[in-house]
Amino acid sequence: MKNLLIVLLAAILVSGCSSNPYSKTNRLHKKQVKQYAKELKEFPIEDNGFQAPLNYGPYEVGTTNFNLRKPNFVVIHHTAQDSVRQTLTTFTIPRTQVSSHYVIDDNGEIYHMLNDYFRAWHGGVGKWGNTNDLNSASIGIELDNDGKEEFSIAQINSLLKLLKELKEKYKIPQANFIGHSDIAPTRKVDPHAGFPWERLAEEGFGYWYDEEKVRDLVIEKDLPKSASEDSLAVSEDIQKPTENRSNLVPKNFDPIMALRIIGYDVSDPVAAKKAFKLHFIQQEDTDAELTDFDLKVLYNLYQKYL
């Protein structure tokens, strides 16, 4: 009996110690956080390491008016890995140099891997609007998905709850919920074309186009000259008169300028157009040619972002 009790106690101890497979890397995480906290507490900087120190005043003066920097974007990814366990391991190996604030399992479980105020390494080289260091301004969310499979209902429901919390907590603008492919169109294609961007927009996370308005749009350059001038032509697409110019995509509409207004980096126009089509037309492996429908969608969205 005594030997049996010893065995049971040993088993309990082993199971208790091995309940969290990331206990070792968690210790490293806490150590690094403690080091950053120590650096933040330093005041004033007495020795800046330069041979010619700055001419500091005779006494310490710390402002009372400050707070932590807050994230202003959310960037959504898919992991492109085989399992959430593989992703968690990848994000806890120093040599990989990649991380994210949150990882959401296919079953809806959320792993909060980094304090929201810290800078995760999830975006890499990228740009959105005038922001060219998204890692410093965003929260990264990775969805457990190999890049081809459907996103599960449980996963998307958890994502929506998380986005609601982040939006309210940090006052993130609706337009600033974007994908990795949006900020890095020459390198990335995540989240893939099956991602429910329209559902997110309905909940206030990102924008989507108005189907009815897009359906009623007419591309002015395709109209006969006289009809374009008086805006009273009948469109073959919708078979109804264009009573005014509000439902016309004007001749001078510049798609590249519109993409830039939305936020895309248009230094590579082909990549920018492909990224737009991946997000809003929901097409992968497509060419950069914008169809009439694509132009109408782009025009409708461009007006939202103005």
Catalogue the active-site residues: 142
DSSP label of 151:
P
Cβ-proximal residues to 223 (8 Å cutoff; 6+ apart), any chain: 233, 235
Place of tokens 């209902």: 153
d(CA 219, CA 249): 5
DSSP states of 45-105 as a string?
-S--S-SS-----SS----S--------EEEEEE--SS-HHHHHHHTT-GGG----SEEE-
d(CA 126, CA 303): 24
Contact yes or no for 278/297 (Cβ under 8 A): no
In Å, how far from its chain's centre is CA 46? 40
The H or E element containing residue 103 is strand 102-104
